[in-house]
Amino acid sequence: MDRWKHQILHYLSRAGFLAFVLGYFLLFVIKHTLVGRLVTFLFIPLAVLFYAFFRPLPEDVMARQERAIVQIPAGASFQQIADSLIAAETLEHKTWFLVLGKLSGKEKKMRAGLFEVPKGLSTWSVLGYLETAPSYRIKVTLPEGIVSSQMAVILEKRIGINAERFSALVNDSLFASSLVPGIYSLEGFLLPETYFFEWKTPEKQIIQHMVANTLKIFEADSVQAQLQLLKRSMLEIVTLASIVEGEALVDSERAVIASLYHNRLRLGWPLQADPTIQFVVPGPPRRLLYKDLEIDSPYNTYKYAGLPPGPINNPGQKSLLATLFPATTSYLYMVAVGDGSHQFSKTLREHNRGHAKFNEVRQQLRREQRQKQAAGK
C-alpha cells in the first residue's frame, strides 16, 4: 500500500510540475486574448499551489541528517502543531498546511509525541509524515544500583513521565504481585540498563518492560537449576544481588563478594554489609559511624542475621549473575582498601590485620593531606 501511495504522489508531483510549465506556456501563447488572460490568471496560481503541495521530495533528503525534533503535546491544536513545525524550520507554508490538513482530514489524525521530521519536505509530505512516522525514541540510561525513586527522576527529566505515579506503581503491592507473584514491591526488579522510550511512555508500560527484562534472566534452565542448587528463591537472589551491587565497584570482584555473602548465610552469620546500613540511614550517602550500626531496622545486617526483607536497590545483570553463580571461595571477611577494591580474608585474624593495615594507610594519607594544606597557607 505504501508503495502505491508513493507512486501516486510521484505522478502527482510530476503533474503539478507540468501544469506549472504549461501555465506559463499558455501565458505566452494566448496572452493577447481576454479568455486566455482569464484562464491564465486562474490556472497559474492553482498550478503553483498544486506544485507546492505535491512537489517531489529530493531523493537524498531522507538520507541526509537534516532533521529536527518536533514535540506535539497531548491536546495540542492543529494551529499549535503548525507553529511548532515553523519554529523547527520543517514547514514553509503555515496557511497551506492548515488548509490542506482541514480539507484532507489529516488535521484529525495528528498524534502526540516527539517526531524527527526531515527538513525540506513539501507541505503535503509533512502532513503524511506526521500521520504515519513512528515516534522518536529517546535514549535513557539507568545506572546499576540506583533505587526506583532515582529512576523516576531520571525518566521524568528524559521522557516527561510523572515521577510520583511511577514510584506509586513500583510500591503498589497488587500491581507488583501481578507481575512477580509473592512480592509486595518491585524495588530490585527494575533492571537498570540503557533503554529507548517514546516521549511520555505510560509509567505502567515502562515498569512492565523493565521487570520483564529481569524475569528473562531467571527463565534460563541453567538459572532455574542454580536456584535449586543454592536453595534460594528469586526474591532472595535479587535481594542478595542488590547488596553485592551496593558493595562492588570492581567488576571482577562481584562473584567473590557474592561468594563471601553466600558463605556467611550458610553459617548463619550476619552479613554485616555496609550498603544495608546506608539504605536505612536518612539523607544522602555518607561515611558510616559506629552508632549507625545500632539502628534498629530489619535491614540492619549487622544487627540481624540472614537477608533483609527485600532488595535495597535495583541490581544490574552482572550482579544478578554473580550472585547466581558465585566464585568458589572460603572467604568470610573483606575490607575496602580505598581504591574501590577489597582485601578478602578467611579468618578474623587475617581480617583484623588487613583492617589495621588499611587504617594505617588511611591515617598516613590524612597526614600528607594536612601537610599539603599547611604548606599552601
Give the CATH number for residue 99. 3.30.1490.480
Choose the final residue of a domain: 219, 248, 263: 219
Question: What's the pLDDT score for residue 338?
Answer: 76
- Does residue 189 sit in the same domain as residue 207? yes
Q: Position 60: which residue type?
A: D
- Does residue 59 sit within a domain? no
- Does residue 151 sit within a domain? yes
- Does residue 61 sit within a domain? no
Band the pLDDT of 28: cuts 50, 70, 90. low
238 pLDDT above the threshold of 70: yes
353 pLDDT above the threshold of 80: yes
CA distance 369 to 353: 25
Question: What's the pLDDT score for residue 19?
Answer: 52
Question: What's the pLDDT score for residue 67?
Answer: 84
CA distance 251 to 227: 22
Percent above pLDDT 90 for the chain: 55
40 pLDDT above the threshold of 80: no
The string of DSSP codes covering 222-250 is HHHHHHHHHT--HHHHHHHHHHHHHH--S
What is the average pLDDT score of the chain?
Answer: 85
- The rounded Cα 151 to chain-centroid distance in angstroms is 9
Choose the final residue of a domain: 194, 219, 244: 219
Three cell numbers at 121?
519536505
Strands 333-336 and 342-345: antiparallel
pLDDT digits (tens, 9 = 90+) for 43-101: 555 555 555 555 545 545 455 548 888 888 888 899 999 999 999 888 888 888 999 88
Question: What's the pLDDT score for residue 9?
Answer: 43
- Does residue 341 sit within a domain? yes
Question: What's the pLDDT score for residue 330?
Answer: 97
Is 111 within 8 Å of 72 (Cβ atoms)? yes
Question: What's the pLDDT score for residue 13?
Answer: 47
Can you list the pairs that 360-364 forms with residues at least 24 positions away whose Cβ atoms lie under 8 Å? 361/337, 362/338
- Does residue 275 sit within a domain? yes
Whole-angstrom Cα Rg for the chain: 32
Question: What's the pLDDT score for residue 355?
Answer: 75
Question: What's the pLDDT score for residue 205?
Answer: 98
- Does residue 261 sit in the same domain as residue 327? yes
Question: What's the pLDDT score for residue 169?
Answer: 98
Provide the domain limits for residue 42. 2-54
Reduced to 3 states (helix: H, G, I; strand: E, B; else coil), residue 71 is strand
Q: Which of 63-67, 101-105, 318-322, 349-353 has the highest mean pLDDT?
A: 318-322
Q: Is 190 left (phi over 0), alpha (psi -120 to 50) or beta?
A: beta
- Does residue 76 sit in the same domain as residue 91? yes
Question: What's the pLDDT score for residue 32?
Answer: 55
17 pLDDT above the threshold of 60: no
Q: Position 101: which residue type?
A: G
- Does residue 158 sit in the same domain as residue 129? no
- Does residue 144 sit in the same domain as residue 131? no
CA distance 202 to 40: 55
Neighbour tally for 377: CB within 10 Å: 4
- Does residue 224 sit within a domain? no
DSSP state of 290: G
CA atoms within 13 A on the CB side of 279: 29
Question: What's the pLDDT score for residue 324?
Answer: 99
Band the pLDDT of 174: cuts 50, 70, 90. very high
Question: What's the pLDDT score for residue 80?
Answer: 93
Over residues 372-377, mean pLDDT: 68
- Does residue 39 sit in the same domain as residue 75? no
- Does residue 274 sit in the same domain as residue 349? yes
Question: What's the pLDDT score for residue 343?
Answer: 92
Question: What's the pLDDT score for residue 3?
Answer: 47
CA atoms within 13 A on the CB side of 168: 6
Question: What's the pLDDT score for residue 307?
Answer: 98
CA distance 244 to 350: 22
Over residues 276-298, mean pLDDT: 91
Three cell numbers at 150?
532515582
CA distance 38 to 134: 46
Question: What's the pLDDT score for residue 328?
Answer: 97
CA distance 164 to 172: 12
- Does residue 229 sit within a domain? no
pLDDT digits (tens, 9 = 90+) for 103-148: 889 889 988 888 888 988 888 888 988 888 888 899 999 999 999 9
CA distance 244 to 275: 9
Three cell numbers at 220?
534460563
CA distance 223 to 197: 29
Choose the final residue of a domain: 188, 219, 250: 219
CA angle 321, 323, 327 (to 5 degrees): 95
CA distance 334 to 244: 13
12 pLDDT above the threshold of 50: no
186 pLDDT above the threshold of 80: yes
How many domains are contained in the chain? Answer: 4
- Does residue 148 sit within a domain? yes
Is 152 within 8 Å of 167 (Cβ atoms)? yes
Higher pLDDT, 132 or 10: 132
